[in-house]
Structure 1
Amino acid sequence: MPITDNLHYFESQLQGTPARLVAVTKTHPLALLQEAYDAGARLFGENKVQEMVAKQPELPADVEWHLIGHLQTNKVKYIAPFVHTIQSVDSLKLLQEIEKQAAKHDRVVHCLLQFHIATEETKFGLSLPEAEEILQSEAYRAMRHIQIAGVMGVGTNTDDEPQLRREFGELRGYFTHLQTHYFAQQPTFREISMGMSADYAVAIEEGSTLIRVGSAIFGARNYQVS
């Protein structure tokens, strides 16, 4: 199916839900991103800093760029001038670097705390105590150029729907806990980013507000792209 049709399908799936679509554009060429933009997509997600930096100037300025892959502190400076949301914050050190680089550009960067909810050890993410340690720190409380807007998690790569529901329910529970104890007076803390091409329907049912979909929109990826 054409990209336009795929996007319209997902938008129809999201009607009546709180979820928005992040079109994951990693490894896909600019022509396909422009096609998605022309079809109405505005939230684009990239896994790699170098790809985001290369594509951002070539697309319209109203694209909302989300960094969804693991982010090294030494790469933050490259995206700080324009990135809207960094979904993969998994340490205080990273948050401090985002604050430092965002301040240089007099910007506020939205951040999601990434939690480890999958069974695979290779996936990144915080535990609840680690997240609370960050939020209780003096360093975090002094930050003025980041805004923690919610949580993110990657479910296990499995067809086991009950397991995915448990994992997504766990992430929703973390969101509720943090909202209650740390962000009760902040309506901007509202995002639960979970669900991808294979499991987005379950994620939406479990309360996702951002689904990250790539292959189901753009087709198979070219992993030869560096």
Structure 2
Amino acid sequence: MSIADKIKTIKDGLTDDITLIAVSKYKSVQEINEAYDCGIRNFGENRVQELLDKNDKLPKDIRWHLIGHLQRNKVKYIVGKVELIHSLDSIKLLEEIERQYGTRNMSAKVLIQINIGEEESKTGIKPQELEHLLEVCESCKHVEVEGLMAIIPIGDEESCRNYFKQVKQIFDSIKLKKYNNIHMKYLSMGMTNDYKIAVLEGSNMIRVGTGIFGRR
């Protein structure tokens, strides 16, 4: 199947309220342009340098999503370049985003990454540490939390469904409270192999790479 065919197949199974992010890491400008020509405007990159390189070579109306772990020393390079940072995972990173965006009087839109499986191999904040991070976010002037992101442990359908449910419960509980600078607009969960389950469990933003571009 071509990139166009794959995108059509995915889109045909989604409702209009779900944002499809084409994960374009390690993919060529030509491949990204193919997806762009099919109407995709949201693209996800894991590495800051790769995102910056592609940003210079591709249409300016592309909305870039930084979906990989963000090092504090790289924050300064993405100010004004990304639509959404999906991987806020610590107070130290939050403070650096606040500082760098503040120097240019801009506002960063971020998702808090939840390490729902508490896996040592994955970044993300543990659920029991979330409340403290939310409290610090409230005092920020240049960071707006727009929702949550999760990468769940690999498992069978039942396991996936259980983890997605847990993240959705956290999302809903935050939504019920009144925080400054925090709005539960996006729930970013689900990738190529599990996005259909994620959508059924409440995700409204999915990140699909292999399912669009094929294996790297």
TM-score by length of 1: 0.90
- Whether 1:174 and 2:170 are equivalent positions in the alignment is yes
For residues 135 and 199 of structure 1, the distance between their equivalents in structure 2, rounded to whole angstroms, comes to: 28
Runs of 4+ in 1 over 4 A off after TM superposition: 185-188
Q: Distance in 2 between matches of 1:123 and 1:182?
A: 29
For structure 2, the residue ranges without an aligned partner over 5 or more in a row are none
2:44 match: secondary structure: strand
The aligned counterpart of 2:151 is: 154
Residue 142 of structure 2 corresponds to 145
**TM-fit CA distance, 1:157:** 1.8
Paired residues, what number? 216
Offset at residue 186 of structure 1 (A): 7.6
Distance 1:34 1:79 in 2: 21
Q: Which amino acid aligns with 2:121?
A: T
Give 3-state SS (helix, strand or coil) of 1:62's partner: coil
Equivalent residue for 1:213?
Answer: 208
For 1:45, give the aligned amino acid: G
Letter in 1 for 2:196: A
CA 1:213–1:38 in structure 2 vs 1: closer, same or farther (change >3 Å)?
A: same
Deviations 1:61-92 (CA, angstroms, capped at 9, x unpaired): 11111111111100111111211110010001
Q: Are the equivalent residues in 1 in contact too, given 2:147–2:186 (CA < 8 A)?
A: yes
Alignment root-mean-square deviation, CA: 1.7
Structure 1: tracts of 5 or more residues without a match: 222-226
Residue aligned with 1:113, SS: strand
- Aligned-residue sequence identity (percent) comes to 40
Alignment partners' CA distance in 2, 1:212 and 1:141: 27
Report the more deviating stretch, 114-123 or 26-35.
114-123
Q: CA deviation at 1:187?
A: 8.9
1:176-215 equivalences in 2 (<5 Å): 176-183=172-179, 188-215=183-210
Q: How does 1:1-226 map to 2 (within 5 A)?
A: 1-15=1-15, 18-118=17-117, 120-137=119-136, 140-158=137-155, 160-183=156-179, 188-221=183-216
SS at match of 1:86: strand
Cα 1:153–1:141 shift into 2, 3 Å? same
Q: Decide whether aligned partners of structure 1 residues 55 and 129 sit closer, same or farther in structure 2, where only a CA change above 3 A counts.
A: same
Instruction: Say if 1:105 and 1:60 are closer, same or farther in 2 by CA, change over 3 A.
Output: farther
Contact (CA 8 Å) 2:149, 2:188: kept in 1 or not? yes
